[in-house]
Amino acid sequence: MDTGVTTTLTAFAAQHAVGLTRFAYVLTGDRQLAEDLVQDCLLALHRRFGEALPIEAPVAYARRVIANGQATRMRRRSSLETVVDAIPDVGVDGTDLSEQDAAWRMLATLPRRQRAVLVLRYYLDLSDDEIARMLDCRIGTVRSLAARAFAALRQHPLLAADVEENQS
């Protein structure tokens, strides 16, 4: 069965660059890194396929490249990144956190794979089976990572207080 050419890389980028950057952003929590990952992904697609994209699910493929690219970036970070003393992003006011802000902040404390599982499950609404294939692991590993991530997030003081309030 021949998959045939479904789109061009330029058209694909025009249509999906923002969506992929959003995905990379929630995956990493770092907007600059997210853009870099998407740029790397487009370059990887260009290197592999040229301008024509002869794959049937380029968005899923790109997401996988981004998820894997994050691991590679983390491994190479020590030699590629420069430490600065000023944070370029402007953070939110931490004195009156909403539950969403608290959840976002807690996500940043999770190990990469735990965070990836939560993002794939709750941002992309992928099934555990799909997540397992994307992360190259077993379904049980996905569930285990999700359970550990949940346990870690539940230990945060803000959510712990919410739990107590609800229980009382």
Partner 1 sequence: MNDRQFEAVLRSALVQHAATVNSGPTWPLDDELLDRSTGRRHRAAWWPIAAAVAAVLAVLGLVLAVRHNASDRHRPATPVTVTRTACTIDPSPAWSAATNAATLKLGDTPSVILGGAPDGTVLLRYGFGKTSHTELIAPDGSRRTLDERPELAGGFTAKGAEIDRRWIVLPVWPNTPDSPTTPPLAEFDVIDRATLHRTEAIQLTANDKVNAWAMLDGQLYWVDGHGRVADHDLATRQTRNVVPSGALSLNSSLTGVAWSDAQGITHQVAGAPVDQVPGLPGRHPDLVTDGTAYAWVGNGDLVWYSAATRQTVLIHDFAPGIKVSVRAVGGPYVVVEDNALGPNLWIADTRTGALMDSDTGDPIVSAAGILAFSGLQTVIAHVDRLPELSC
Distance, in Å, from the CA atom of 109 to the CA atom of 129, rounded to the nearest integer, reads 25
Work out how close the CB of 12 gets to partner 1 at its nearest, in angstroms, rounded to a whole number.
9
Q: Contact with partner 1 (CB under 8 A): which of 81, 99, 109, 155? A: 99
* 75 is an interface residue for partner 1 by CB under 8 A: yes
Nearer to partner 1 (CB atom), residue 99 or residue 109: 99
User: What character string, x for contact with partner 1 (CB under 8 A) and - otherwise, covers 42-71?
Assistant: xxx-xxx-x---x-xx--xx--xx--x-xx
Q: Contact with partner 1 (CB under 8 A): which of 5, 109, 154, 155? A: 154
Instruction: DSSP letter for 97, please.
Output: -
Residue type, 118: L
Q: What is the CA radius of gyration of the chain?
A: 18
Distance, in Å, from the CA atom of 26 to the CA atom of 119, rounded to the nearest integer, reads 7
Work out how close the CB of 86 gets to partner 1 at its nearest, in angstroms, rounded to a whole number.
20
* 34 is an interface residue for partner 1 by CB under 8 A: yes
Q: Is the dihedral of CA 23, 26, 32, 33 positive or negative?
A: negative
* 159 is an interface residue for partner 1 by CB under 8 A: yes
Cβ atoms of 29 and 111 within 8 Å: the answer is no
